Amino acid sequence: MQVKDVMSRGVLTVAPETPIQEVAAQLSEAHVSGAPVVAADGSVLGVVTESDLAHRLAAKAAPAPSWLQSLFSAAPAEALDYAKTRGRTARDIMTAPLKSVSEETSIEEAAQTLESLNIRRLPVLRDGRLVGMLSRADLLRALLTPDSPGPASVDDRDLRAAIIRALNQAAWSHAYSVHFTVRAGHVTFYGFAEPTEVQRALRVLAEGVPGVKGVSFPGEPAPAKE
């Protein structure tokens, strides 16, 4: 699934010269937490968010830095903070440069970008022009879309091979000796007395293999190798 399948269209935007008070009013009225800042030629300059507005308010209560702190602080960072806390327009307080995705970006890659940057939304651009916005809430649509049904029946040997491949790709599994059998599509892990977190991960791993019908941990000793 791609970003274009779940993104929001008809996005609220603001002009660079929009006063901060008007930005806050538009965000509140539209019930959104951020809006792209779009120039007259259609190019996206940045995004202004509730966090940008809240930072401006919080800065008023923050104590002034000491002489020693000012001596060792980075001048560019201080200059940016000054503009964001004392600016009067969307251009002054917006977050830039802009991180964006395209319509063809996979939702997995987009989710990773949101997570790694700890942000809530991403503009979706086509040839530098805004075509939509992707938020964490939009990603819920992907979770609500049912997965395509797997094969009706898979040979147990093929299932076992697929699970072994998945285990080899999971770094956390290398620290454990994992024994399991597959019978009629049901996976049973044996002799497993590891933390419940590991059992949970093993269950998710096995259930994620197409054709697996069930997973269990009976606590029995591992069967002897043939």
Q: What is the pLDDT of residues 101-155, one digit of tens each?
A: 999 999 999 999 999 988 888 999 999 899 999 988 888 877 776 665 656 678 9
Structural domain boundaries enclosing 94: 3-144
Band the pLDDT of 71: cuts 50, 70, 90.
low
CATH code of the domain in which 173 resides: 3.30.1340
Residue 222 lies in a domain: no
Residue with the two structure tokens 């649509």: 141
Q: Which helix (H) or strand (E) holds 34?
A: strand 34-38
User: 60 pLDDT exceeds 70?
Assistant: no
Residue 46 lies in a domain: yes
User: Do 99 and 193 belong together in one domain?
Assistant: no
User: 226 pLDDT exceeds 50?
Assistant: no
Number of structural domains the chain divides into: 2
What the block records as the tokens of 67 is 């002489």
Q: How far is CA 127 from CA 100, 131, 189, in A?
A: 12, 10, 51
CATH code of the domain in which 116 resides: 3.10.580.10
Q: Decide: residue 35, CB within 10 A, 0-12 exposed, 13-18 middle, 19+ buried.
A: buried
User: Do 105 and 201 belong together in one domain?
Assistant: no
User: Do 50 and 103 belong together in one domain?
Assistant: yes
Band the pLDDT of 193: cuts 50, 70, 90.
low
Residue type, 69: Q
